[in-house]
Amino acid sequence: MQNLTVVKIGGAVLEDTASLKDFLLRFDAITGNKILVHGGGRTATQLADRLGIKTQIVDGRRITDKDMLEVVIMVYGGLINKNTVAFLQSIGCNALGITGADLNIIRAVQRPVGDIDYGLVGDISEINIKVLQLLLSEGFIPVIAPLTHDGLGNLLNTNADTIAASIASAMSELFNVLLVYSFEKEGVLLDISDRQSVIPLMNRELYSKFRNENIIHSGMLPKLDNSFKALEDGVKGVIITSSNALDLTKGTRLTL
């Protein structure tokens, strides 16, 4: 099987052109098949503010009504995705910017209303691994915006971490997949105030321990839950590392 690296990029780096370009140069340097999944929540919130649309985030997830969906389609599918593609093309990386609707790559169902009504948010039901494989075989680099579709003509807002993990898991049928979550911090930290306290290696047992002791909490939990789920689903490795100087030898490496 060939190798495939699925990299998720999110957070402040997306808003700073110089940092983003540095990140993309390092992404380009990763050898073999690769896929980039990006977020863009901060920029979406800024545009919503400018348009007088109220942002509501519950448990790290954006409540998405019709107006907010338009905002995220414009920001994720347009502004961030296309600027990223244009920069990658300028350094010879043959990027193709897509959403889950393009070539029917990610199908989702609108999340049922539970305690919270998240609105036009999609839970992934199917990843079209054959089409992704075809794109990769042509040397194309998919750059994926965190939008899915329901097959009925509607786009849906879907968390980028979840998209990255779902693609990594699904593509494990065809590739040896490494999933990389890159974000503001150097990795999973023992002490959130100490950037040097990166946990270099963590298995599920250690994760449970840290979680029980409240050393790892809040925003890291869904990322880590997604990661261990991906490992169970056949992903060969997960690395959580800094987007500032993307280096796959650093950060926190997860194992089962």
Compute the least distance from the CB of residue 130 to a second copy, in Å: 11
In the numeric block, the tokens 């794109």 are attached to 135
Min separation Cβ 27 and a second copy, Å? 14
Q: Which is nearer to a second copy, 86 or 190 (CB)?
A: 86
Closest distance to a second copy from the beta carbon of 90 (Å):
4
* Contact set with a second copy (CB under 8 A): 21, 47, 50-51, 70, 73-79, 81-83, 85-87, 89-90, 94-99, 101-104, 134, 138, 140, 147, 149, 151-155
Closest to a second copy by CB, 71 vs 254, is 71
Q: Can you read off the two tokens belonging to residue 196? A: 């040097």
Query: How far apart are alpha carbons 95 and 245 in whole angstroms?
Result: 21
**Nearer to a second copy (CB atom), residue 156 or residue 189:** 156
Distance CA 188, CA 186 (A): 7
Judged by beta carbon, residue 2 or residue 90, the one nearer a second copy is 90
Shortest reach from residue 10's CB to a second copy, in Å? 18
Nearer to a second copy, 149 or 253 (CB): 149
Is 149 or 223 the residue whose CB approaches a second copy more closely?
149
**DSSP β-bridge partners for residue 183:** 242
Torsion angle, alpha carbons of 135, 80, 124, 32, to 10: 30
CB of 123 to a second copy, least distance (A): 17
**Minimum distance of a second copy from residue 181's CB (angstroms):** 25
